[in-house]
Amino acid sequence: MDFQLIHTDTKSNARAGLIKTDHGEIETPVFMPVGTVGSVKAVHINELKSDIGAEIILGNTYHLYLRPGLEILKGAGGLHKFNSWNKPMLTDSGGFQVFSLTENRKLTEEGAEFRSHIDGSKHFFTPEKVMDIQRTIGADIIMAFDECTPGDADYAYAKESLELTERWLERCIKRFNETECPYGHKQSLFPIVQGCVYPDLRRRAAENIAALEADGNAIGGLAVGEPTEKMYEMVELVNDILPKDKPRYLMGVGKPENLLEAIERGVDMFDCIMPTRNGRNGQIFTKQGVMNMRNEKWKNDFSPIEEDGASYVDTLYSKAYLRHLINSNEILGLQIASIHNLAFYIWLMKEARKHIIDGTFSQWKPMMIENVTRRL
């Protein structure tokens, strides 16, 4: 993987870059739609490519390991061939999902024992096994196995957790260097900066990871219960340390305004289930604000979903029709909302990139944050 820094904003740390992988190029800043079990919920691959304009999607190691399983993925020739996505792909480590199974998992020095959320069967993830799973899935960018510390963890727990993650990282790197992708393309391993909300832990983690000179670096363990301002503080601290010539990936974040604030602080890559999950619940993000499509106010509004929207669905369907579909629990309503929100998120990233290159990001960003946080 190669990363080229195209332009840096003169008044902030916002950057425009270009990532090159064996499956294609990615312009940054970039938002990655989440395809948890190998599909972005309710969205067709052709819509992701041609209408939404996604350049990279994300798969989930934990979920893909459980379903369809490694034998199926290997037999298909990897996830790219299994789901017919021929562009770049990233897989997370499964650490966040294991972290979420609080009642059904046990962490040891060796790894994480957990029970499947599907059938209760017992499984064990070691750093080595997670590397092997991600090799089999075949994503272009893969993540080191980590413990995702809760946002409200006390200092002693956060320190112990970080130390475990650092020892696991050493084992991940060793296993990664001993193996190859079975499908012939190159894969890049990103370490993950942890440390909860404690500046000294985050600084230590970032310094240790910066010294590894990996192809790129991830920032994890944020947007998991800590105050938003604390998240921004940690991002800023970490990005002052991580190499400027490598892409920085903020995991699992978030709202449109969170993305813009993080871009200003030097983040290049994002993923989040929010656009599709919230869309399925009737929340629509637009250039002028946020709409709850279940509200009565849209019942007789026959104007387009968004006059100058980023997707074909925005002018094809009306607000009244989308409200009707969502309130009737029609599958088409979930599809329209998901397509719209993903297209909006990717439009927002492309617009941010354009303003960074033009030198107008610092003027555009406050105006855009005012717009996207407005309730319509």
Residue positions annotated with a catalytic role: 92, 271
Known binding residue 146? Answer is yes
| Omega before residue 266 within 30° of 0, cis | no
Known binding residue 154? Answer is no
Q: What is the SS3 assignment for 318?
A: strand
- Calpha distance 142→232 (Å, rounded): 24
- Calpha distance 321→298 (Å, rounded): 9
Query: In 40-153, which ranges are E strands?
Result: 57-60, 89-92, 105-107, 112-115, 122-125, 141-143
Beta bridge partners of 130: none
- Calpha distance 89→140 (Å, rounded): 5
Known binding residue 194? Answer is yes
Beta bridge partners of 7: 16
Known binding residue 216? Answer is no
Instruction: 165-172: list long-range contacts, CB under 8 Å, 24+ apart.
Output: 165/192, 165/194, 165/205, 166/205, 166/208, 167/109, 168/111, 168/127, 168/144, 169/127, 169/144, 169/145, 169/209, 171/126, 171/127, 171/128, 172/127, 172/128, 172/130, 172/131, 172/144, 172/145
Known binding residue 285? Answer is no
Known binding residue 95? Answer is yes
Q: Are 309 and 342 in contact (CB under 8 A)?
A: no
Known binding residue 225? Answer is no
Binding site members: 92-96, 146, 194, 221
Binding residues for substrate: 92-96, 146, 194, 221
